[in-house]
């Protein structure tokens, strides 16, 4: 099966996580990881917080805000000029998939004292 999910070790804020990834989504996932890590580091630098969960929530809110801003201008054609062929449904599907995978990986961490 050529499109069988593979495990991929990613690094966010210096912590390693293992996620599953389809081979044809590998590059997109790496780009997403880089973008999320950049947001995490940006927020960590601004807030001086070291609480990973808090930083993750703040990064998620910032990324959602970026997405909603892009979506709100998509009707005007501005997004097409920025990123021709941007498929928001595909992006949303990938984000939901990544969130589910991260939830599975982070669930055992939530049980730690």
Q: What is the pLDDT of residues 31-61, one digit of tens each?
A: 999 999 999 998 888 888 778 888 888 888 8
Tell me what pLDDT residue 79 has: 44
- Confidence class of residue 71 from pLDDT cuts 50, 70 and 90? confident
Residue 1 forms part of a structural domain: no
Q: What is the number of structural domains in the chain?
A: 1
Average pLDDT, the chain: 78
In DSSP terms, 8 is beta-bridged to 19
In DSSP terms, 21 is beta-bridged to 6
Say whether pLDDT at 82 is over 80. Answer: no
Contact (Cβ atoms closer than 8 angstroms) between residue 12 and residue 36: yes
Residue that has been written with the tokens 């996932």 in this structure: 29
Residue 80 forms part of a structural domain: yes
Tell me what pLDDT residue 1 has: 46
Q: Supply φ then ψ for residue 12, to 5 degrees.
A: -125, 120
Per the structure, the complete domain to which residue 56 belongs is given by 6-110
């Amino acid at each position: 099966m050529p499109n069988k999910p593979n495990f991929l070790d990613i690094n966010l804020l210096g912590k390693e996580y293992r996620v599953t990834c389809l081979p044809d989504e590998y590059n997109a996932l790496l780009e997403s990881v880089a973008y999320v890590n950049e947001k995490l580091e940006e927020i960590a630098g601004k807030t001086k917080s070291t609480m990973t969960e808090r930083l993750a929530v703040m990064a998620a809110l910032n990324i959602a805000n970026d997405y909603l801003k892009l979506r709100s201008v998509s009707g005007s054609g501005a997004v097409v000029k920025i990123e021709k062929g941007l498929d928001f449904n595909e992006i949303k599907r990938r984000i939901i998939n990544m969130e589910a995978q991260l939830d599975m990986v982070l669930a055992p961490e939530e049980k730690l004292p």
